[in-house]
C-alpha cells in the first residue's frame, strides 16, 4: 500500500500513518490482562490498560516513528481509587444522613465532572509522546462544562437536531487546547459541513421509524380485517400492539446506533481535516462512513458470537482502519521541523509524571 497520498504535487503530499500490530500479538497481551484482572478482582485493570495502550501506541507509526505511552499502572490505580472513594463516601452520606442528601451528592458529582474530564484529558495528553516530545492539554473545567456537558444536553433536548453544534463545541474544545510540546493544535469545523454529515443519519432514523410504524399498522389492519370485532381480536390486537412497541423501540435503537456510527465517521473526517498543528502542518482523515460502520458492527457481532475471544482481532482491525486513513502534511523539511519541535518541548516538569491517572475514555 502506498504510504503517500498526492495532493497535487510532492510539496503537498500527505503521509499516511500505519498500524503495525497484529491480532495474534495482541491476543497474548489481552488474555493475560483478562486473567489477571479477574484473579485480582479488577485491581490489575489499571496495569492492563497500560499494557494495552503501550501496545497500540507503539504500533501506531507516523513518518517512520511510533507514539509512546508513559503512564504507569500505579498512577491509573491511584486515580481510580480517588474517584471510587468519592462515589462511596457520597453514597454513604446519602443513605446515613437523609435520602434527600442524594440530591446534594448528585450536584457535587455534576460540579466535579468537568474537573475530572479536564484531569483525564490532561493526564492522557501528558503521558503520550512522539519523537520524544510530550503532548499537553490546557483546557479548563469551565470549558469542559460548556462544550461537553452543556453541548451534550443541548443535543439531547433537540433530539439530535443541534448535534452539529455540540460536535463543533466539543472538538474545538479538545483540539484548540491540545499542544505538541508548546506548539498548538487548531481546528474550526464548519457548522454547514457538520450538518451535511448529519443529513444521511437523520434520514436513516426518520425513514426507519416510518417503516417500523408502517409495518405495525399493516399488521393491525390485516388482523382487524380478518377477524372482525371480537374479544379475541381485541386481545390479539393488544398483544400485537405491545409486541410492536418492543419491535419499534429495539429497531430504532439499532437504526440509531448505525446512524450514530455513520455520523461519527463523517464528523471525524471533517474535524481532523480542518485541524492544523502550529498553524502550518495539516491533518487529514478519509474514513469511509459505510466501511467504518461495517467494521464496528461486525466487530461487535463476531465478538459476541465468540464469547469475547475475538475481541483482540476486532480491536486491531478497527485501529488499523482508522490509523491508515489518517494522514499529515508537514510544511517544510521533516528533520528540521521536528528538531524545532524537540527544542521547544523537551522540558518535562515533575507534574507530568506525578499526576493521578484519572483517565476517562473521553
Strand, coil or helix: 230: coil
The pLDDT of residue 224 is above 70: no
pLDDT in tens, 346-359: 544 444 445 555 66
pLDDT band at 318 (very low <50, low <70, confident <90, very high): very high
pLDDT for 228 equals 53
pLDDT in tens, 186-206: 999 999 999 999 999 999 988
pLDDT for 357 equals 55
pTM over 0.75: yes
Question: What are the distances in angstroms from CA 64 to CA 56, 127, 284, 287?
Answer: 15, 20, 17, 22
Angle formed by the axes of helices 101-126 and 73-96, nearest 10°: 170
| Spatial CA neighbour of 268 closest among 225, 221, 318 | 318
The pLDDT of residue 231 is above 60: no
The pLDDT of residue 22 is above 60: yes
Mean pLDDT of 302-307: 96
pLDDT for 10 equals 44
The pLDDT of residue 20 is above 90: yes
Handedness of CA 251, 257, 263, 266 (dihedral sign): negative
pLDDT band at 223 (very low <50, low <70, confident <90, very high): low
pLDDT for 362 equals 45
Structure-block grid coordinates of residue 290 = 459505510
Mean pLDDT of 5-26: 76
Mean pLDDT, all residues of the chain: 85
The pLDDT of residue 11 is above 50: no
Structure-block grid coordinates of residue 42 = 479488577
Amino acid at each position: 500500500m502506498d504510504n503517500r497520498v498526492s495532493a497535487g504535487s510532492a510539496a503537498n503530499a500527505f503521509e499516511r500513518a500505519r498500524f503495525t500490530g497484529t491480532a495474534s500479538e495482541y491476543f497474548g497481551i489481552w488474555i493475560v490482562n483478562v486473567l489477571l484482572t479477574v484473579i485480582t478482582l479488577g485491581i490489575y485493570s489499571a496495569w492492563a490498560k497500560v499494557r494495552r495502550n503501550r501496545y497500540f501506541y507503539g504500533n501506531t507509526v507516523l513518518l517512520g516513528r511510533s507514539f509512546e505511552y508513559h503512564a504507569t499502572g500505579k498512577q491509573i490505580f491511584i486515580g481510580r481509587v480517588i474517584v471510587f472513594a468519592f462515589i462511596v463516601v457520597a453514597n454513604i452520606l446519602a443513605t446515613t444522613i437523609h435520602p434527600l442528601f442524594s440530591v446534594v451528592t448528585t450536584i457535587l458529582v455534576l460540579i466535579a465532572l468537568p474537573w475530572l474530564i479536564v484531569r483525564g484529558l490532561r493526564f492522557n495528553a501528558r503521558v503520550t509522546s512522539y519523537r520524544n516530545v510530550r503532548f499537553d492539554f490546557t483546557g479548563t473545567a469551565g470549558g469542559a462544562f460548556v462544550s461537553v456537558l452543556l453541548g451534550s444536553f443541548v443535543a439531547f433536548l433537540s433530539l439530535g437536531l443541534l448535534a452539529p453544534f455540540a460536535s463543533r463545541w466539543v472538538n474545538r474544545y479538545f483540539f484548540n487546547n491540545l499542544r505538541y510540546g508548546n506548539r498548538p493544535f487548531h481546528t474550526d469545523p464548519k457548522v454547514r459541513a457538520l450538518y451535511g454529515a448529519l443529513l444521511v443519519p437523520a434520514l436513516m432514523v426518520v425513514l426507519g421509524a416510518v417503516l417500523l410504524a408502517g409495518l405495525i399498522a399493516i399488521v393491525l389492519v390485516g388482523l382487524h380485517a380478518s377477524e372482525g370485532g371480537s374479544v379475541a381480536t381485541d386481545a390479539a390486537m393488544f398483544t400485537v400492539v405491545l409486541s410492536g412497541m418492543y419491535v419499534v423501540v429495539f429497531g430504532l435503537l439499532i437504526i440509531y446506533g448505525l446512524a450514530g456510527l455513520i455520523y461519527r465517521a463523517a464528523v471525524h473526517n471533517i474535524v481532523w481535516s480542518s485541524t492544523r498543528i502550529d498553524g502550518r502542518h495539516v491533518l487529514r482523515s478519509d474514513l469511509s462512513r459505510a466501511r467504518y460502520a461495517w467494521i464496528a458492527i461486525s466487530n461487535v457481532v463476531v465478538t459476541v458470537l465468540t464469547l469475547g475471544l475475538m475481541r483482540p482481532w476486532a480491536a486491531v482491525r478497527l485501529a488499523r482502519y482508522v490509523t491508515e486513513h489518517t494522514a499529515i502534511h508537514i510544511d517544510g523539511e521533516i528533520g528540521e521541523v521536528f528538531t524545532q519541535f524537540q527544542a521547544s518541548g523537551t522540558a518535562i516538569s515533575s507534574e507530568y509524571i506525578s499526576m493521578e491517572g484519572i483517565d476517562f475514555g473521553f
